[in-house]
Structure 1
Amino acid sequence: MRRSPLLAAGAAVLAVLASVGLHLAPQADAAVVQATFAHPGVLLSRAQLDFVKGKVAAGEQPWAAANSQMMASRYAALSRTPAPRAVVECGSYSNPNNGCTDEREDAIAAYTDALAWYITGNAAYAQKSIALMDAWSATITSHTNSNAPLQTGWAGSVWPRAAEIIRYTYSSWPNQARFATMLRTVYLPTVIAGSSSNGNWELSMMEAAVGIAVFLDDRASYDRAITRFKARAAAYVYVTADGSQPKYPPVGNVDTRAELISYWQGQSTFVDGLAQESCRDFVHTGYGISAIAHVAETTRIQGADLYPELQDRLRHSLGFHTKFENGTAVPSTICGGSVTKGFGPVTEVAFNALHNRLGIAMSNTQTYTESRRPQGTNNLFVAWETLTHAGNPA
């Protein structure tokens, strides 16, 4: 539907106000407010950042320990030297690895430094975050080889988290526009196109597309990414309400039951929470579940919360996988009675949203999450989520 001239004018006024740091009160016309984005607003809001800063300053747990873990990591080192490349070449399982690890870890370092800046107030961390982002925005032109879409999604998920914090909480970033151009030209065209590969690929790519769209204030790309994300999330995790089998993926050639069973790693018995890659391994499944939670968290910040729509898939999938991680025997009907564990540090965001905010009992997930605090980083695109999201009510 075409917006009225009045509504369009209102959105334009809001954009001007936002550019100078002014925002309408929450009771402003929702039809106008939806045309703008909240900043910082990729995975973390300012209110969430303030909560974390307060808990760390007070020495409260688990935030103090999580902050110490982050600050002691190599990612927080002010001596870090960025290692940008014009062309990042990533083959299957990062072989060859020409800049793949460097790109991902520089992005995590930029995000780590942005968090450290906000928590400590030490401008040296903001400047290091900017130096890392500037080095890459001055250099990179493309990603190549078979893992290029996934690599673009992983790095592209993390860069906007750092950029949002720096842009909206630090005083000066002269090369901000060049960084935005990098996201728009090097990352966004690849990730927003999606993937017909295993579901964790497309979920990570949609996470990147959503975060980049927020940073760019690009409503059209945001809406496009959310549409594909919702379809892929629904096809990645099975719940009984889906019927006798999971939903078919939104793209690709999987459109018969036999093809679906093959795509689900040979699994033909479907139970609540089983994911498309559960019988492959829990590591890759954790990537997909984490990306679902990250996008949901960003949508909540942006005022169109997807957690209610996703809560059954997320709670069942977290419970299903953490149950086995916690030691429950795997029945013969699940993956032939054997699974490859390694879910990773991926539960804090969704556990906080579903258990603490929505009041859903999640005993298996709670045991897993609390026993592994502080959850650190997977060195790909997940980082410091005990620090940022444990018990965070904002």
Structure 2
Amino acid sequence: MTRLHRPLLVLVTLVATVTATTTALVVARPSEAAPTATFQHPGVLVDKAQLDFARQQVQAGAQPQKAAYDAMKASSYAALSYTPKPRAIVECGSSSNPNNGCSEERDDALAAYTHALLWYFTRDDRYAKKAIQIMDAWSAVLKDHTNTNAPLQTGWSGASFSRAGELIKHTYGGSWAQRARFEKLLRTVYLPEVRDGAGCKNGNWELIMTDAAIGIAVLLDDHAAFDKALSIWRGRLPGYVYETSDGAYPKAPSTCSSKDTREEIIDYWQGQSTFTNGLAQETCRDFGHTGWGLTAATHIAETAWHQGVDLYAEAGKRLTDAYYFHTRLETGTPTPSNLCGGTVKKGLGPVSEIVYNHYHNRLGQQLPTTLRYTESKRPAGANYFFAWETLTHANNPR
């Protein structure tokens, strides 16, 4: 696997095909010409240039960052009185039933990331110390995740904890005496649960788990785990989002070799038997889980981008087609009779900020349907494994 230098921001002129010209900021894709064996830090979901841009926007009172920052600051996750609730064993069954520490762990991971962001935006040590307190509380006691939802729970929480740890480790100059203990927790309790994928589970599981795995890999400077996460993503995305170039029906995910007939694929795709660009494996289940899968896939691509690997380009149109397919239905397009029996369960969630930012603000693509949906969800909040993405990624060409 080749690591590449951080993409450079360049100013280019996009010439319209007929009569007009417009100017846009576009980021050059990673180049094969400049390999490096080191990770770029901070580089889990966000990097320093992005954070500095967003911080400047907030300080200038620019929107939508200012409203997003205010929403984050007002949330319960941002309270300096926030108290973590760690457990030695987090037991999570299907639909988090039983829920023995599941909500608490997810919330604490989101709170740690929130405080890490607040540290960066305010440079107030109290926020860094609170993020450290939360991470230290869990690293002191957590031993295992158990029951049927253990891999997914580990993914939800591990994604946020890796982002928090990365920011504090690489931007805070104060003391973090138990950092090695926290990193050991990620290496020995979290990573083994998520690194090998989810087999034939619904695709949001594997993508969320891989979101955590790639974040942990970067934080730990673990090249083998990073490469494994890339491999899982490359094998899962074509098994999660359909393109007509795949053939008459979707491909099976690389970790789910038992789905090798058309009938098995149709069953796996919730009984959907006609396929079109952008349809997802969980579309006919519900848009909520589909949104989780799509945003996790985007998180992985974003972290890889910061490490010089352009998964966005490898995806081709697959990601933009998926967001278009679902956001147009969310924004009023009638459901076709041949899609999910003519009825879909909406509720995609605030999941499109990062993908829109990449393809529009970095690459200059026009995605009006995705933009309309994205703007309707601003400022995006925090839930399960994603947080404050309007603040970190809206209109951010870095």
Q: What's the TM-score once normalised by structure 2's chain length?
A: 0.90
The alpha-carbon deviation at position 80 of structure 1 amounts to 0.7
| Percent of residue pairs identical | 58
Give distance in 1, aligned partners of 2:243 and 2:365: 17
State yes or no: 1:223 paired with 2:240.
no
Amino acid at match of 1:209: A
Residue 113 of structure 2 aligns with which residue? 111
**What's the offset of the Cα at 1:222?**
0.6
1:286 aligns with 2:288: no
For the structure 1 residues 316 and 29, does the alpha-carbon distance in structure 2 shift closer, same or farther, using more than 3 Å as the test?
closer
1:244-275 CA-to-partner distances (Å, cap 9, x unmatched) read 11111212321111000000000010011000
Q: 1:371 to 1:29 in 2, by over 3 A?
A: closer
Matching of residue 205 in structure 1 with residue 216 in structure 2? no
Specify the SS of the correspondent of 2:90. strand
* 1:214 partnered with 2:218: yes
Contact 1:311 1:354 in 2 (8 A): no
Higher strand content, 1 or 2: 2
Which of 366, 386, 391 is 2:390 aligned to? 386
Q: 2:181 aligns with which of 172, 178, 181?
A: 178
Q: How does 1:368-387 map to 2 (within 5 A)?
A: 368-377=373-382, 379-387=383-391
1:357 aligns with 2:362: yes
Q: Contact 1:103–1:155 at 8 Å: present in 2 too?
A: yes
On the 8 A contact 1:91/1:146 being kept in 2, the answer is yes
CA contact (8 A) 2:96 2:149 kept: yes
**In the alignment, is the contact (CA less than 8 A) between 2:112 and 2:132 conserved in 1?**
yes
Counterpart amino acid of 2:354?
Answer: V
2:141 partner SS: coil
Instruction: Rate the CA distance shift 1:175–1:29 in 2: closer, same or farther, 3 A.
Output: farther
For residues 178-218 of structure 1, give each alpha carbon's deviation from its aligned partner in whole angstroms, at most 9, with x where no partner exists. Answer: 01000000000110021120000001111111110000000
Question: Could you tell me how far apart the structure 1 residues matched to 2:209 and 2:314 are?
Answer: 20
Deviation at 1:311, TM superposition (A): 3.9
Q: CA deviation at 1:27?
A: 11
1:359 deviation in Å? Answer: 1.7
Q: 1:268 corresponds to which letter in structure 2?
A: S
List per-residue Cα deviations over 1:282-308 (Å, max 9, x = no partner).
000000000111011111100112111
In the TM superposition, residue 241 of structure 1 has moved relative to its aligned partner by 1.2
Match of 2:81 in 1: 79
CA distance in 1, matches of 2:319, 2:196: 24
Aligned pair partner of 1:70 in 69, 72, 75: 72
Q: Letter of the aligned partner of 1:168 in structure 2?
A: H
**Structure 2 Cα separation of the partners of residues 94 and 28 of structure 1:** 44
The one-letter amino acid of 1:51's match is F
Alignment partners' CA distance in 2, 1:382 and 1:224: 22
Residue 92 (structure 2) aligns with: 90
| Contact 2:196–2:232 (CA under 8 A) maintained in structure 1 | no
User: What is the aligned partner in structure 2 of residue 190 from structure 1?
Assistant: 193
Q: 1:204 is matched by which residue type in structure 2?
A: I
Matches within 5 A, 1:262-277: 262-277=267-282
User: Is the partner of 1:89 in helix, strand or coil?
Assistant: strand
Q: Indicate yes or no: 2:249 matched with 1:245.
A: yes
Mean CA deviation greater in 358-367 or 263-272: 358-367
Query: Greater helix percent: which structure?
Result: 1
2:142 aligned counterpart, secondary structure = coil
Q: CA separation in 2, counterparts of 1:371 and 1:334?
A: 25
Structure 1 consecutive aligned stretches of length 4 or more whose deviation exceeds 4 Å = 26-29
User: Partner of 2:7 in structure 1?
Assistant: none
2:237–2:253 Cα contact (<8 Å) kept: no
User: Aligned partners of 2:32 and 2:377: how far apart in 1?
Assistant: 42
Partner amino acid, structure 1, of 2:217? A
SS at match of 1:78: coil
Name the structure 1 match of 2:46.
Answer: 44
Asked whether the equivalents of residues 86 and 101 of structure 2 are also in contact (C-alpha less than 8 Å), the reply is yes
Select 1:59's aligned residue among 51, 58, 61. Answer: 61
Please give the root-mean-square deviation of Cα atoms over the aligned residues, in Å. Answer: 1.6
1: distance between equivalents of 2:273 and 2:223? 39
Higher-RCO chain (CA-CA 8 Å, sequence separation at least 6): 2
Cα distance, 1:175 vs. partner? 0.7
Question: How far did 1:30 drift?
Answer: 2.9
Q: Which whole-Å CA distance do the structure 2 matches of 1:225 and 1:363 have between them?
A: 31
2:167 paired residue number: 165
Q: Secondary structure at the match of 1:268?
A: coil
Rounded to whole Å, the distance in 1 between the matches of 2:31 and 2:387 is 34
Partner of 1:125: 127
Aligned pairs, number:
368
Letter in 1 for 2:371: Q
Q: Is the 8 A contact 2:78 2:115 kept in 1?
A: yes
Report how far residue 309 of structure 1 moved: 1.2
In 1, the alpha carbon distance for the partners of 2:247 and 2:325 equals 18
Q: Distance between the aligned counterparts of 1:287 and 1:390, measured in 2?
A: 19
CA distance in 2, matches of 1:286, 1:111: 21
Find the aligned partners of 2:71 and 2:332 in 1 and give their Cα distance.
27
SS in 2 for 1:188: helix
